[in-house]
Amino acid sequence: MQKIIVKVTQRDLNRGIGYDCLACPVALALHRRTKRTWSVGRFRGVEVSTPPTWRFIHLPESVTRFVTRFDAASKLGRKKLKPFQFTARIQESPKGGKR
């Protein structure tokens, strides 16, 4: 399992779209950091299938709370959110491997 540091920038916050699992600030930051597309939801991880492997990122609980706040906030409320960083763990398995 690989650990990475992900920085959610002000640009990610400005460009992020609420209730869009592919375009929220965390998904944008993960894409910038890993060069892969991630689907981020309000649970403790994200998954993407990219043959021949699947990848799962374990997110800290603070990140899932952020996604919930971002989705619920109006555009004005989102301006109060600040850039942050977090450590994520990427788990990979060969296609057909056990999760």
> Going by C-beta distance under 8 Å and a sequence separation of 6 or more, which residues neighbour residue 52?
94, 95
Reported pTM? 0.82
- Identify the three-state secondary structure at position 64: helix
Residue 60 DSSP class:
P
Those residues of the chain that have pLDDT short of 50 are: 49-50, 96-99
- Residue 30, token pair as written in the block: 């993960």
pLDDT at 49: 47
For the CA atoms of 44, 49, 52, 57, the dihedral, rounded to the nearest 10 degrees, stands at -20
pLDDT at 18: 92
- Do residues 8 and 83 lie in contact, with contact meaning Cβ atoms separated by under 8 Å? yes
pLDDT number for residue 99 = 46
> What is the pLDDT, as a whole number, of residue 5?
96
pLDDT for 52: 58
* pLDDT in the model for residue 82: 95
